Amino acid sequence: MCGISGIIGPLATKQNISKMTYALWHRGHDAIQYQCKEGNYALGHNRLSIIDLSEAANQPFQVLGYPYKLVFNGEIYNYIEIRQELQYLGINFQTKSDTEVLLQAYIKWGENCLEKFNGMFSFAIYHTDSNKLFIARDRFGVKPLYYYHSKDTLIFASEIKAIRTLISTKVNQSVLANYLVFGSYGLPNESFFEHIHQLAGGHYLTFEYDEIEITRWYDFISRVNVLKESLKDISKEEAKQTYKQKLEKSISLRFRADVPVGFTLSGGVDSSLLLALISQRKDVSKIKAFTFYTGDERYDELPWVEKMVNSTLTNLEKVIFEPKHFDKWHKRISKVQDEPYGGLPTLAYANLFQAMSNKGVKVVLDGQGMDEAWAGYDYYQNNSTHTIQGQKSNPFKLNVLNEVILKEAKEPNYPKPFSDELLDKQYRDLFYTKIPRALRFNDRVSMAATTELREPFLDYNLVEYAFSLPKPLKINKGVGKYLLREILSEYSSEVALAPKRPLQTPQREWLGNELSSTVDRAINQLEKSIYADYFKIDEMKNEWQDYKNGSQDSSFHLWQWISVSELINSAC
């Protein structure tokens, strides 16, 4: 739910915080409110009402008698259990919201409250007496948080665009270089704009006396090392039953809402298992599943989706995405994302979320996170350093880049804390590559439709457990996500045994034909931009001609050019 924004320092004015909340209108407009003490602090909140729809749960939120003000984006899924614990300790509640539970938990336990939360969240708590700001982000960074710090001022928000209403900033050249050369979208603390940073998932930030201090609060590595030791001799049947119980609990928690809930489907193992478990719910007839298709049988997963849906009572809505939809969504999502995003699949998802919103669905469950926890990608089984499923060669065209940008690029050096190649790749993807960028893409497209996206497979209990299991339960005889497929086979053996397929659209074909004008326009914009000296435009045009002539092994480089042209255009 929601979007948050805030200013600490001289720039804190009603006019400035109003600009920020307006920039985040799409993230929620059931209530848009702010509180401000001119020149001291300003906190803003855009509400998408999900739990406790009453005005009493609006934000900024304060508990009577305490000098704390809270703005909160996300959900604490286990808020009922934490509320009961706090009530047992003598604390009374004025609302039924998870917002009040969060603040009361912080008042009671300080930063240690974070360990109790099972949810997705970014929040800020300002102490009006001490002028101390506390900001925290959930374990995997499901909900976003950006900030800008200069001398005596700190500005934070759920999206970059809100911060950029108050400051001028250029494109971050090193992040741009790594995107073009290595396909990196930046480290967890970076953005594509100079001086605008992310608070990495699993960290909290304090701002006091004009100084920032950042602390990692989620110690995934230590937790997994302990769990690995306890699971090293586990039987397949015990692991299967334990994981299934944890998964059922995770899904049940994420159905806590006071508004309609739906979920997305592809034809893969992950979303098929999600469908299978949701179909066991008593209220399944009221839950709608949504899937997108393009009308191209080479890529569409509709046959796989329909095989699963036909065996359940689930209502399926099929939403088509065609070339005629591209311009509308590309223009909109480029603005919403602020930074380069993942091509046509992201746009098809944006179209899908809007269709769900139009049907009255406010909360959406999705299947993100299984491949990273269960070693589902092909490159987990070889010596490849790729982070893109199904790639056999470098998809980036370095020959179109000038020396000025090539020199700036530095290959990302990701931590390897486990001294185990498989676990280190999984760790990289969970915290540095696949999951951070997928969560950013999906958060923005869901919020563009003013819907809330929930990721049941990224429940930290599930991720830690699957990550820690012995390798043969993850990869067995060349089959990834082995135990997961065993669970799904109880519902559909045909889908369970299907090979891993990347989520695809006809991007290669469309860019070379129906959408070729988009590539032409991008190259032209790059050639005329102040960043033209980053590129060898003649080489770029030659590559583009080769592509139109049939050299279409990959379209990643074309999408990079399109993305960079949009990024540069927004920065000017």
**Predicted pLDDT of residue 303:** 81
Could you give the CA distance from residue 12 to residue 154 in angstroms, rounded to a whole number?
10
Same fold, 3-216 and 220-383+411-496: no
The full DSSP string for 309-378 is HTTS--EEEEEE--GGGHHHHHHHHHHHHSS----HHHHHHHHHHHHHHHTT--EEE--TTHHHHHT-SG
Q: What are phi and psi for residue 172, nearest 5 degrees?
A: -75, 105
Q: 153-157 and 146-150 as β-strands: parallel, antiparallel, unpaired?
A: antiparallel
Tokens of residue 551, six digits: 């050299």
Angle at 215 between CA 214 and CA 220, to 5 degrees: 140
User: Is 89 buried (19+), middle (13-18) or exposed (0-12) by CB count in 10 A?
Assistant: exposed
SS3 399: helix
Q: Does domain 3-216 have CATH number 3.60.20.10?
A: yes
Query: How close are the terminal C-alpha atoms of the chain, in Å?
Result: 31
SS3 253: helix
Q: Where does residue 184 fall: left (phi above 0), alpha (psi -120 to 50 degrees), or beta otherwise? A: beta
Could you give the CA distance from residue 528 to residue 520 in angstroms, rounded to a whole number?
13
The full DSSP string for 50-93 is -S--SGGG-SSB--TTS-EEEEEEEEETTHHHHHHHHHHTT---
**Predicted pLDDT of residue 392:** 54
Q: Which amino acid is at 6?
A: G
How is domain 220-383+411-496 classified at the architecture level of CATH? 3-Layer(aba) Sandwich (3.40)
Q: 196-198 and 211-216 as β-strands: parallel, antiparallel, unpaired?
A: unpaired
Tokens of residue 233, six digits: 């001799």
**Predicted pLDDT of residue 387:** 64
Question: What crossing angle do the helices spanning 516-528 and 326-337 adopt, rounded to 10°?
Answer: 40
Tokens of residue 166, six digits: 């108050």
Q: 288-293 and 475-476 as β-strands: parallel, antiparallel, unpaired?
A: unpaired
**Predicted pLDDT of residue 497:** 52
Rounded average pLDDT per 10-residue block, the chain, 572 residues: 93 98 93 94 92 82 94 96 97 94 98 98 97 97 97 96 96 96 95 97 95 97 97 96 95 91 84 83 84 89 79 82 95 95 94 94 91 91 66 78 95 94 96 96 94 95 97 92 88 56 79 96 95 95 94 92 91 66
Give the global pTM.
0.94
Domain ranges of the chain: 3-216, 220-383+411-496, 507-571
CB count within 10 Å of CB 296 equals 13
Q: 261-264 and 288-293 as β-strands: parallel, antiparallel, unpaired?
A: parallel
Helical (H) or strand (E) element with 122: strand 119-127
**Predicted pLDDT of residue 538:** 96
Q: Which amino acid is at 391?
A: Q
61 close to 103: Cβ distance less than 8 angstroms = yes
Tokens 């009961």 belong to residue? 84
The full DSSP string for 414-451 is ---TTS-HHHHHHHHHHHTSHHHHHHHHHHHHHHHTT-
**Predicted pLDDT of residue 355:** 95
Q: Where does residue 70 fall: left (phi above 0), alpha (psi -120 to 50 degrees), or beta otherwise? A: beta
Tokens 């891993």 belong to residue? 500
Sequence-ordered list of residues with C-beta below 8 angstroms from that of 514, at least 6 positions apart, any chain? 323, 326
Torsion sign across C-alpha atoms 476, 478, 483, 486: negative
**Predicted pLDDT of residue 143:** 97
Q: What are phi and psi for residue 530, nearest 5 degrees?
A: -70, -10
Q: 146-150 and 363-365 as β-strands: parallel, antiparallel, unpaired?
A: unpaired
Give 37-40's long-range contacts (Cβ < 8 A, gap of 24+).
37/12, 37/128, 38/12, 38/13, 38/14, 39/9, 39/10, 39/12, 39/13, 40/8, 40/9, 40/12, 40/131
